[in-house]
Amino acid sequence: MMPGIWQAAILVIAALILAAMIRLFAGPTAPDRVVALDTVNTLTIASMILLGVIYRQLIFVDVAIVYALLSFVGTLYIAKYIGGEL
């Protein structure tokens, strides 16, 4: 039942990661790059869960939990560092 549409969604997410990479390299200021990095993290979590459920590699879901926690902590630390509060 509609086997190709999940793989198509993963391809769309991969293309959007590339689109966020443009901003990551071209962003004029440092906060622009951090915003792009946060977007890449969110897209990576979504693609990890899709890959894990479609190909029945359920360890990917556990990895996605840890990735979400670490990316949140990393974004908070970088934001505090940019604001000069650290």
Partner 1 sequence: MISIITLISVILLMLGSFFFIAGSIGLNRLPDVYTRLHATTKCDTLGQSLILLGVMMYEGMTFTSLKILIIAGFLLIANPTGAHALAKGAYLSGVIPCENTEPDEYRDLCAEVDDDLAA
Q: Is 3 in the site for partner 1 (CB under 8 A)?
A: no
For the bound state, the minimum distance from the C-beta of residue 41 to partner 1, rounded and expressed in Å, comes to 9
What is the C-alpha separation between 66 and 43, in angstroms, rounded? Answer: 15
29 lines the binding site for partner 1 (CB under 8 A) = yes
Residue type for position 52: G
Q: Which of 7, 14, 22, 55 binds partner 1 (CB under 8 A)?
A: 22
* Residue 30 to residue 43: CA distance in whole angstroms: 20
Distance CA 69, CA 71 (A): 6
Examine residue 1 and tell whether it contacts partner 1 (CB under 8 A).
yes
Binding site for partner 1 (CB under 8 A): 1-2, 5-6, 9, 12-13, 16, 19-20, 22-23, 27, 29-32, 34-36, 38-39, 42-43, 45-46, 49-50, 53, 58, 61-62, 64-65, 68-69, 72, 75-76, 78-85
